[in-house]
Amino acid sequence: MSGVNQITIVGNVGSAPELSYGQNNVPFCRFSVAVNEQWKTDGEKRERVTWFPVVVFNGLSEACANYLERGRLVAIQGRVQSREYDDRHGTKHEVMQVIAEKVTFLGGTKRDEQDNRPSPGQPREDLHRPSSTDAQDVPF
């Protein structure tokens, strides 16, 4: 019986995407995604950041290299794969990475945020006004 290897993560791009070309000139892009988790234990706020190395291939890799930047919110769907490599001292290492099959760009880029910034001397306008659905007790 075959198993299922599927992962979905939503987080912030942690390292600038690096575009490279492999065998037969196939493009691939590597970057990391940080997923922040928060919870309370005995009334004390706790937080953990989990880092996921991500690899994207073919045309999607070029889109990621062109449009993703550090800090941007992104959703990744794919599978987990391990790979081995030797470091410069000849020591073997095994790492887990996410092979992305779908990448969804969420939120805006830093450039988008700068375009919405008021010019000096201009009164700042709230870009997000609270609504009745912004209550603290919403479970997400």
Strands 44-57 and 92-105: parallel
Domain count, the chain: 1
Inside any domain, residue 2? no
pLDDT of residue 1: 78
**69/34 Cα distance (integer angstroms):** 13
Inside any domain, residue 136? no
Inside any domain, residue 132? no
Inside any domain, residue 120? no
pLDDT of residue 110: 59
Q: Flag whether the pTM goes above 0.75.
A: no
Q: Domain range spanning residue 101?
A: 7-111
Inside any domain, residue 140? no
pLDDT of residue 134: 37
Inside any domain, residue 53? yes
Inside any domain, residue 129? no
Q: Which residues of 46-85 are buried (b: 16+ CB within 10 A; e: fewer)?
A: eeeeeebebbbeeebbeebbeebeeebebebebeeeeeee
CATH code for the domain in which residue 84 is found: 2.40.50.140
pLDDT of residue 140: 30
Inside any domain, residue 91? yes
pLDDT in tens, the chain (140 residues): 789 999 999 999 998 899 999 989 999 999 999 999 999 999 999 999 999 999 999 999 999 999 999 999 999 999 999 989 899 999 999 999 999 999 999 977 656 555 554 434 433 332 233 333 333 333 33
